[in-house]
Amino acid sequence: MFKTLIVLPLLLLGSYFNSFGQRQSVDVQHYGISLTVRDNTDKITGTAEITVRFLNSVPELRLDLVGPQIADTGMTVLKVVERPAAGHAVANAGKPGMPNGVKNIPFRQDSAGVYLTVGAGKGETHIYQIEYAGIPRDGLIISSNKFGKRTFFTDNWPDRAHHWLPCIDHPSDKAAVDFDVITPDKYTVVANGLKAQEVLMANHLKRTRYTEKALLPTKIFAIGIAGFAVDHSADIQGIPVYSYVFPENKKQGFKDYGKAGEILRFFTQQIGPYPYKKLANIQSKTIYGGMENAGAIFYSEESVGSKDIEELLAHEIAHQWFGDAVTETDWEHVWLSEGFATYMTHLYMEHAYGVDTLKAGLKADRKKVIAFEKKRYTPVVDTSAKDRYTQLLNANSYQKGGWVLHMLRRQVGDSTFWKGIRNYFATYGGHNANTTDFRKVMEKASGQDLEGFFQQWLYTPGMPELTISPGDGGKFIIRQDQEHLFAFPLEYAVDDDPRIYTVQIKDRVTIINIRANHTIHIDPRINLLFEYGKGM
């Protein structure tokens, strides 16, 4: 996600909360989402068919869903039924007036969720169909674009999908998803996965179906409905690359989004196979600069014509591997998504434009981290956000997370770094991972004990704050001024000597000796996250 344009009402900053216990008791296998949208009302009608495997015996299944609120906003559940899973009968099914094998499920609803009386046993799989309707206050943004044309776009991060969809709205629960969307026939529909059907219906309506077999967290479910101009710009290793832009931006939009093919090629070569069946880059109404929905990335409507479009594309495409395919187990590990996308963008820009571009990007990021630390002194892996997850969209998760990867790359070496990155994706693609999981993969790849490195850079707030002053006879005194001591290699150069020297810093004060009357240049290759004197 590119964290510009974030404007969230206060009520949206809190999670509406799936309990930890519920997440430990169920595993959603599949969502079948049927949705109807109209032009004469913002009210949607939907049916969510949810396939659930029960990890423990539970009397009641709780799904996140914002309930009825003022002026028909929120979702009102109308009916819940169970239909048999393949090879399983439903007890007491087949009552008069019900299709064979289907039974009504008692439920209750409050402002935060819907509760199904299921009486499910450990190891059982059940399929529930939930019919609902209402006007979503968030999550599904029904609006007009900058050209005054009506649009519909999901915008689910961090846990806003439950404003329009009954679900387990947490990144740890990943499931396959199908979409069956009915719209006025003037619209084009794009979603995760591959288009399975598009047919015209009576009364100027159209039905569009998409299917996504890869397992996704709800934060990256995507439906986009608008008048689009569509370009099939490339095929990269069998993956079709599309651009969806508003027709008024067609010429510039196709040119800008057309850069995606080469970016996809670079990441596929460096990381591993692209995890989805298509890559669609979509001009949208997301509140973010970009939102990394799997295979269907949404960009702000102002992205077309942006001078930073190539970096924006690289950031969101990198997320397809990190954040989407490999998803953080919980919110405090979001740097595994945003820090990775930040640094992978730098690596693409280094590949495309040279090492000086990487250095410039890292220097700019270092300034952002230093400035953020003055306002909020927290570690990268930050458990203090509780349910206010948008707090985590900060320079720690993005720029400092990226800097940690850069320093890790320098510590283990380029070839080992990429070996570890590829192994991490190969091991956890399609699943969830946390910071410890990543550390263990990198330790195996490098043969190094990285626990101290991870502890000081990710679990400890702050960074080295250095004062460097000359002493007598060519001595230089290096002092760590911050509270917690860090251990790190400090590179330096002397005057015009082309050699790079390295000193290991671990104490409060370190003294180095150089020739008298010479000048020292600290971190000339931009390899250390630190603050020097009055800032860098």
* Angle of the 414-428 helix axis to the 401-412 helix axis, nearest 10: 120
* Mean pLDDT of all residues in 286-303: 96
Least confident interval from 28-42, 168-182, 381-395: 381-395
Distances (CA, A) of 480 to 333, 360, 465, 503: 28, 25, 6, 14
- Cα gap 514→498, rounded to integer Å: 15
The model's confidence at residue 401, banded by pLDDT at 50, 70 and 90, is very high
| pLDDT tens, residue by residue, 219-267 | 999 999 999 999 999 999 999 999 999 999 999 999 999 999 999 999 9
| pLDDT tens, residue by residue, 447-493 | 999 999 999 999 999 999 999 998 887 789 999 999 999 999 999 99
Least confident interval from 198-202, 405-409, 491-495: 491-495
Of the candidates 37, 34, 18, 36, which has an alpha carbon nearest to the alpha carbon of residue 26?
18
* Mean pLDDT of all residues in 157-164: 97
Q: How far is CA 163 from the centre of its chain?
A: 19
The model's confidence at residue 90, banded by pLDDT at 50, 70 and 90, is low
Task: Please state, as a whole number, how many other Cβ atoms lie within 10 Å of the Cβ of residue 266.
Answer: 19
406 near 346, Cβ under 8 Å?
A: yes
- Is the predicted pLDDT of residue 507 greater than 50, yes or no? yes
- Is the predicted pLDDT of residue 389 greater than 80, yes or no? yes
153 near 286, Cβ under 8 Å?
A: yes
Q: What was the pLDDT predicted at 103?
A: 95
The model's confidence at residue 13, banded by pLDDT at 50, 70 and 90, is very low
80: which 2 tokens?
């819940």
Q: What was the pLDDT predicted at 101?
A: 78
Domains in the chain (CATH in brackets) are 21-227 (2.60.40.1730), 327-458 (1.10.390.10), 465-532 (2.60.40)
Planar angle of CA 354, 264, 294, nearest 5 degrees: 130
Three-state secondary structure of 175-209: EEEEEEEEEECCCEEEECCEEEEEEEECCCEEEEE
* Mean pLDDT of all residues in 335-363: 98
Q: What was the pLDDT predicted at 100?
A: 67
Of the candidates 165, 443, 147, which has an alpha carbon nearest to the alpha carbon of residue 155?
165
Q: What was the pLDDT predicted at 19?
A: 46
Dihedral angle sign, alpha carbons of residues 103, 104, 107, 109: positive
- Cα gap 418→271, rounded to integer Å: 7
- Is the predicted pLDDT of residue 91 greater than 80, yes or no? no
DSSP string, 303-331: -TT-TTHHHHHHHHHHTTTBTTTBEESSG
* Mean pLDDT of all residues in 92-119: 83
| pLDDT tens, residue by residue, 311-335 | 999 999 999 999 999 999 999 999 9
DSSP helix/strand/coil, 405? helix
User: For the chain, what is the mean pLDDT?
Assistant: 93
- Cα gap 380→394, rounded to integer Å: 9
The model's confidence at residue 7, banded by pLDDT at 50, 70 and 90, is very low
365 near 527, Cβ under 8 Å?
A: no
- Cα gap 93→43, rounded to integer Å: 32
201: which 2 tokens?
């219906």
Distances (CA, A) of 252 to 18, 149, 150: 43, 19, 21
The model's confidence at residue 86, banded by pLDDT at 50, 70 and 90, is low
Q: What was the pLDDT predicted at 395?
A: 97
- Is the predicted pLDDT of residue 29 greater than 80, yes or no? yes
DSSP helix/strand/coil, 158? coil
Q: What was the pLDDT predicted at 472?
A: 81
